[in-house]
Structures are given as structure tokens and as C-alpha cells.
Amino acid sequence: MQRVEVIHGATELSGAQDEYATYPPDDTECATCGRAFKPMEVARRSSAARQSGPPAVTYRHFDEDCASEVQP
């Protein structure tokens, strides 16, 4: 059986579930604040089921200030 470390619980609004900490691909932006990730910056990887196709994968910063910097 494969073990997946859960960082934080699922978010009710988006249905996304944080899966684990990882390094995001190059040129990836945070799904919460829109800032680009720096090289070798650790991020929370989340995925959410879609009606068709594979799950949508997003990456978010770990810092608490990230949510307060949401860009319109």
C-alpha cells in the first residue's frame, strides 16, 4: 500500500486536496497568489477531480502570507 502524506486537509470550495510537498515545474505560478515559484522552492501539490480528463494539478506556496497577496 502506498502512503501519501497529507499537508493540510481538503478545501471545500475547490474540492482540491493537498497531496504532498514537491518542487513545481519551471514557469509554474501559485494557484492562490499568482506569484511565480523560485528555482528549488518547495510547494504544496494539490489535485482536484474534473468531469472529464485527468485531475487538475495546482501548486501553492507554503507561506501564510500567500493567501493575503491574491491578485485580481
Nearest-CA neighbor of 58 among 69, 37, 68, 3? Answer: 37
CA dist list (Å): 65 to 22, 25, 26, 60, 69: 19, 22, 22, 12, 7
Q: How confident is the model at residue 5 (pLDDT cuts 50, 70, 90)?
A: very low
DSSP assignment of 1-46 equals: ------SS---TTT--EEEEEEPPPTT-B-TTT-PBPPTT--EEEE
Residue 68 confidence (pLDDT): 59
Average pLDDT, the chain: 75
| pLDDT surpasses 50 at 2 | no
Q: Report the share of the chain in percent with pLDDT over 90.
A: 40
* Tens digit of each residue's pLDDT (9 = 90 or more) over 6-30: 344 433 334 556 688 999 999 999 9
